[in-house]
Structure 1
Amino acid sequence: MTDIAVVDYGMGNLRSVSKALEHVAPNQTVIVTSDPAQIAAARRVVFPGQGAMPDCMRELDARGLRNAVIAAAAEKPFLGICIGLQLLFEHSEEGNAAGLGVLKGKVKRFAAAEMHDEHGAKLKVPHMGWNQVYQSLEHPLWHGIADGERFYYVHSYYVLPEDAGLAAGYSEYPKRFTSSIARGNLFAVQFHPEKSHDAGLKLLSNFVRWDGVF
């Protein structure tokens, strides 16, 4: 049985995610796959991605991966990254696209009229670079990571869960937005742990040892 399956739906830099996982779990088997059967058989599943929401949903369905991802998110330790977080929700403003509906809520674009810092300087969209992540609740994936640690972001949209209790962490740009969510065996983040140096590797290390209980 495969230990960790990284879902390949043709979007994003999957190699950097798989290499980071191999680094923190040298004794575990990591595969990048678009085979629903391999995803179903894996002990843990990572659902990463970059790109536009409509394109990601189209490619996910073209490969027959929708049901495999939904099942994995319900049954085993599951980590969503970037678009892998956004796709879990019901709807995105990006292309007026429907998501997987695993979680209730929507994905919204940063509002241009609000994108100014405390000095009035204009903030760029996409939100790109390092930003602090503040932990909203205790979770095994935060173990050994300081509250307010910095992680790397590249995104123009953010999730707005219907249930605020799903939020596991938040960042500010300039207003507060949900940067990670947790529910049962599922954890997902807007930032890129595979690009976030020591803090990101620690989060991935926590994930590959997590039993999915929360």
Structure 2
Amino acid sequence: MIGIINYGAGNIFSLTAALDRIGIEYAMINEEGDMENYSHIIIPGVGHAGAAMQKLKATGLTSSIKKLEKPVLGICVGMQLLTRHSEEGDAHLLNVMDIETLHFANRVNLKVPHMGWNKVSPMQNSKLFQNIEKDAYFYFVHSYFIEYNPTFTLAYTDYGIKYSSAIQYNNFYGVQFHPEKSGKAGEQLLKNFCTI
């Protein structure tokens, strides 16, 4: 059963609607004691990374998230929270992975935010991308991206610059795109996460 970190910075409705469609049970995590009730944890997120981190700190869940040994999936800003630091608000984040979240501005000559469908290219065989067509398209909405680092990169995307669109370190996973808005490929990725 999925536990969703409920810290006021996630697009919870879209995520829960997708989980309902594919028949995956879930409930909200509001305090540390709730975490032991779930086999898998999702950290959703939309908006500003710095503000999201402040909201997450206010829940008192940050240290317990970092100690988790069960599978954790960060989505969009939830993925960025797993990095060391974000240029958005000069924010120090969870530092689960020693990588940086950077702004597209001044790095690409393309429209920012990066919004719409784009190709996601897996770098290695990962359970997260099982039974998903190679170079499948997923839905993105973001102005900040995670620097490409082969140590942590499960998949990359190109938007004027090659960046990490899926990352992993031990039991922690992150995706920059929104699987809950990415049709069948996104639904398959959520199903895959539940089997990790």
TM-score (norm 2): 0.94
Q: Which residue of 2 aligns with 1:132?
A: 119
Q: 1:99 aligns with which of 93, 117, 123?
A: 93
* Residue pair 1:14, 1:32 contacting (<8 A) in 2 also: no
Question: Residue 128 of structure 1: CA displacement?
Answer: 0.4
Residue 142 in structure 1 maps to residue 140 in structure 2: no
- Which whole-Å CA distance do the structure 2 matches of 1:113 and 1:153 have between them? 18
TM-score (norm 1): 0.87
* Paired residues, number: 196
What do the CA deviations read for 1:92-138 (whole angstroms, capped 9, x no partner)?
101111001111011100133532xxxxxxx2100000000001111
Structure 1 gap ranges (5+): 116-122
Aligned CA distance change for structure 1 residues 62 and 113 (closer, same or farther; 3 Å): closer
Q: Which residue of 2 aligns with 1:82?
A: 76
Structure 2 gap ranges (5+): none
Larger Rg: 1
* Residue pair 2:73, 2:172 contacting (<8 A) in 1 also: yes
What is the aligned-residue RMSD (CA, Å)?
1.4
Q: Which residue of 1 aligns with 2:166?
A: 180
* Residue pair 1:131, 1:152 contacting (<8 A) in 2 also: yes
Q: 1:202 aligns with which of 182, 185, 188?
A: 188
Identity %: 38
What do the CA deviations read for 1:36-95 (whole angstroms, capped 9, x no partner)?
2112331110111101111101111111111222122xx001111001111111111011
Greater fraction helix = 1
1:50-129 aligned within 5 A: 50-72=46-68, 75-112=69-106, 114-115=108-109, 123-129=110-116
